[in-house]
Structure 1
Amino acid sequence: MTALIITALIWVGLHIGLAGTRLRDPIARRLGDQGFRTLFSVLSLAALFVLARSYAAAPYRGLWVAPDWLRWLLVLAMLPAFALFAGAVLSRNPTSLGPPIGPEWQPRGMVRITRHPMLCSFALWALVHIIGTGNAASLIFFGAFGVTALAGTTSIDAKLARRQPVLWRTLAAGTSIVPFGAILAGRNHFAPRELGWSVPILALGLWGGMLILHPLLFGMSPLPHV
């Protein structure tokens, strides 16, 4: 368990302490943006590998048992998680990696729902697995991903505000971190046609595929009594 805790702290430290603070800026100036991304990717992959190995080797210490009705709800909760992921992949977003977007850009599609669909997807995925598994190792393992996802939202916002203040003002005025937050506050509106059919089709495909492949990939089914 000690190895898992240390590796989880390293993972969080890389994403919050290095990539998520102004410490990134002098390193990126020295290495260049691409050089920093390469270094960060290598370190992240190494940390992820060790984190997964430590999780697999950690002893089981049960904390709670999720009842069947809750497990069914958790299975259903993964559908919006996959929808957020699909929207992040298929929608152009100034908070994601890629070429800069001009200040004339306006929120559309998934960005109306949340300006951080990928990170919200990971945060929901982590929460679902923490509740569903109910053991100490899972709390540490999935908690590390949940913490970095949630912290990453404010970190990316601060970075965009420094680099593209005009674009950031547009984004902050018409979007939210919490899904549907800006829509419920009246600062935007839901436009499902902008999502098209590709987002729900990809989300359903990923959700159904994972239900089938989960026992093969991870040795257990997310469905109760299966």
Structure 2
Amino acid sequence: MANSVVLTYPLSAPVRPLHNTKILRFQPPFSLSQIRPNLFQTSLPKSLSFYTKKSFVRVLEQEGTDASSPAPDLVGEDSAEFLLSGQKITSWLYFSGILGVVLYVLNFAWIDNSTGFGKAFIDAVSSISDSHEVIMLALTFIFAIVHSGLASLRDTGEKLIGERAYRVLFAGLSLPLAVSTVVYFINHRYDGVQLWQVQDAPGLHTILWMSNFISFFFLYPSTFNLLEVAAVDKPKMHLWETGIMRITRHPQMVGQVIWCVAHTIWIGNSVAVAASVGLITHHLFGVWNGDRRLAIRYGEAFEILKSRSSVIPFAAILEGRQKLPKDYYKEFLRLPYLSITALTLGAYFAHPLMQSASFRLHW
């Protein structure tokens, strides 16, 4: 029989080091999906079984377990989990209000040519070259430097000004630059040198349409946490493990590559190639940077997840390092994925509206 020690520990405190602790008591409310990754920053054995009882999280050590073997249980969080019972109407009212304010400020301060700085920014970047390809790359890399740079400084920034304030700063700088890059691409996507013309190829539109549709299902699971994105809930750096993460540890990169390849094949000119090169380069850097940041934050837990996942889609599955559950499909039958389906279809049918709105800005 394994001996057990009881330790009272507030949920807000870091869960380390606990050494030989077998039973941990937390102050409710708590979530196993939030606690479990932290447990693997401790010296606890790797093979553990978890269950809850009232205000307890009980960790039972399996006698004779090899501490160097991968954990059969998840060390990360359940991706795209959405429990209606855990939602607060007030939180979503705050979210709606914040979204409205953000869109108003974005339009007034950046998009509207009469009041915003968006056109001046595009004009300034455009002054460096007469080449649309160069401008496209420049806009993409400016966004990438700001976006990835702020992500890299997240730990330090959150300590200085707090999680919510840093999320506002992050979004406030990244969102306008993303809008400018997208609008410029839409307005100038046919202004480059035509390299090939395959739009009349039988079945190609259907193949590329399906590729684009699938690419949105590779959205990084943090995108689904809308209340955290809007800083209604305190933003967290999550260690995801289920759903799309079983296929690839960097789904946003994979989805972006699929999207870029499909659009480049369809458009077939130099501006599309430049946009794709910039975006794919940014996301490949994100693979390294994302792994680095998660390793710093989660330590051993991330190393366990890394050992049974892969950057290349399906590689860990084919190598036997990742075992898909028998009911794996249930990890996608969730409201966030249903929402992604609706939004993806809506975005496709709204293409004419997006193109018309972009053209009127004359960026």
Change (3 A) 1:38 1:210: closer
Q: CA contact under 8 A between 2:164 and 2:235: conserved in structure 1?
A: no
Matched, 1:197 2:333: yes
Q: TM-score, normalised by structure 2?
A: 0.49
Asked if 1:75 corresponds to 2:75, the answer is: no
User: Deviations for 1:161-186, whole angstroms, at most 9, x for unmatched residues?
Assistant: 01211211121011112222211111
> Offset of 1:26 from its aligned partner?
5.2
Which of 279, 298, 302 is equivalent to 1:145? 279
User: Of the candidates 173, 189, 193, which is equivalent to residue 43 of structure 1?
Assistant: 173
Counterpart in the other structure of 1:217: 354
Match of residue 146, structure 2, among 7, 10, 14 = 14
What residue identity is the alignment partner of 1:217? M
Q: Does the 8 Å contact 1:66/1:132 carry over to 2?
A: yes
Conserved 8 A contact 2:211-2:262? yes
The Cα offsets for residues 66-120 of structure 1, whole Å up to 9 and x where unpaired, read as: 34343332112123212223866569xxxxx94356xxx8833322112222332
2:264–2:273 Cα contact (<8 Å) kept: yes
Q: Is the 8 A contact 1:114 1:175 kept in 2?
A: yes
Describe how 1:54-65 pairs up with structure 2 within 5 A: 54-58=184-188, 59-65=191-197
**How far apart, CA to CA, are the structure 1 residues paired with 2:220 and 2:288?**
21
Task: State how far apart, in whole Å, the 1-side matches of 2:165 and 2:193 are.
Answer: 41
Output the CA distance in 1 between the equivalents of 2:272 and 2:237. 37
Name the % identity. Answer: 23
Residue aligning to 2:198: 66
Quick one: which of 81, 88, 99 aligns to 2:236? 99
Which structure's relative contact order is higher, taking Cα pairs within 8 Å and 6+ residues apart?
Answer: 1
Per-residue CA deviations over 1:23-65 (Å, capped at 9, x if unaligned) read 6665555445544433332221222233234334543432222
CA distance in 2, matches of 1:51, 1:185: 39
**5+ unaligned residues in a row in structure 1: which ranges?**
92-96, 220-226
Task: Identify if the C-alpha distance between structure 1 residues 55 and 206 changes in structure 2 by more than 3 Å, giving closer, same or farther.
Answer: closer
Return the alpha-carbon distance in structure 2 between the equivalents of residues 201 and 27 of structure 1: 34
Task: Report the alpha carbon displacement of residue 155 of structure 1 after superposing the two structures with TM.
Answer: 0.8
Q: Judge conservation of contact 1:113–1:190 (CA < 8 Å) in 2.
A: no
Which secondary structure does the structure 2 equivalent of 1:81 belong to? helix
TM-aligned CA deviation for residue 133 of structure 1 = 1.3
Task: Count matched residues.
Answer: 209
User: Take 1:40 and 1:8, find their aligned partners in 2: how far apart are those partners?
Assistant: 17
Q: Which moved more, 1:125-134 or 1:67-76?
A: 67-76
Structure 2, gaps ≥5 residues long: 1-131, 226-233, 357-363
Q: TM-score, normalised by structure 1?
A: 0.73
Q: 1:187 Cα shift?
A: 0.6
